[in-house]
Amino acid sequence: MLKNSCMRVSFSLLLGLFLTASLQAAELIQVKQGGLGRITIRPAGKVMSVNGVFKEQSIPFFKVDQETFVALIGIDMDQAIGSLPFLARWTANGQTVEKKFTIEVQSEKFGLQKLTLPKKKVDLDPPTLSRVRREQGKMKEAFRKSDPKKLWKGPFLAPVEGKRQGTFGRRRLINGQPRRSHTGEDISAPTGTPIIAPNHGKVVLVDDFFFNGRSVVIDHGLGLISMYFHLSSIDVVPGESVKPGQQIGRVGKSGRVTGPHLHWGMRLNNARIDPYALVNIKLD
């Protein structure tokens, strides 16, 4: 009898451990390199806020209704293939609750882009190199200042009417030399074609750069930032609030380019993502 009782206790203990492990199993979310992941939490009880942690970064959730919180995560185009943990945490009825997710990063094929440019635009002299480094610092500062509130509303619009070239993420050979992969999407359009803000946001940078030419950077809040390069003219100023469809400039060929087009880039919590991942999809 004692032996059977021990066996029943052991079996019950193992079953309890199995059930506990099942309840704590991480929910799987699959996202391709350069893609966008959407995490939804519907916590029980009265919850004021939900916070997330991903790659040692704090990821904000925003409330979409009385019961639902959503977070957007960007997977950088150069992120290694594999699984990454995401932890959501909130307080309900005086107790801290956690929910685990597994972000499975899947491979994306980006291809190769070959360009031929004037030698002085590729092999930089010391003064130009110093200028480029200063400009890189300005861009990093713009990325660092995202508004803690969600400024965008609904899906994003494409900023210009033109032909999408499919350049996002492509490895580049410039004058036969390997260079950094292309971080945005190029959209071909004639010089002077209007460029619009794809959503609500705040202009955080307007400048004229060596590589990017006349540039505009817009903060959409919660770490979501968009960029517009090679403009012929700019119609906004730093600090200005913009709304969807508002003209922010016109297509050009300023900076290091081979012809007129718009370079449209997007960052989410510093991850370089395909801007078209935000177009015509449910975000909030």
pLDDT, one tens digit per residue, over 221-254 is 999 999 999 999 999 999 999 999 999 999 999 9
Residue 19 has pLDDT above 60, yes or no: no
CATH code: domain 112-278 is: 2.70.70.10
Cβ neighbours around 36 below 10 Å, total: 22
Rg, Å, the chain Cα set: 23
Mean pLDDT of 255-268: 94
C-alpha to C-alpha distance for 81 and 159, rounded to whole angstroms:
31
Q: Taking the CA atoms of 116, 121, 126 and 129 in sequence, report the sign of the dihedral they define.
A: negative
Cβ burial, residue 244 (10 Å; 0-12/13-18/19+): middle
Q: Which residues pair with 181 in a beta bridge?
A: none
CA atoms within 13 A on the CB side of 101: 21
Residue 21 has pLDDT above 60, yes or no: no
Tokens at 149, concatenated: 């509130």
Nearest alpha carbon to residue 61 among 99, 28, 8: 99
CATH code: domain 25-106 is: 2.60.40.10
- The model carries a pTM of 0.86
Per the CB < 8 A criterion, the answer to whether 233 and 249 are in contact is yes
Domain boundaries, the chain: 25-106, 112-278
pLDDT, one tens digit per residue, over 109-154 is 888 777 777 776 777 789 999 999 999 999 999 988 899 999 999 8
Residue 2 or 172, more confident? 172
C-alpha to C-alpha distance for 98 and 90, rounded to whole angstroms:
7
Kindly state the helix (H) or strand (E) to which residue 247 belongs, with its residue range.
strand 247-251
Tokens at 25, concatenated: 């199993």
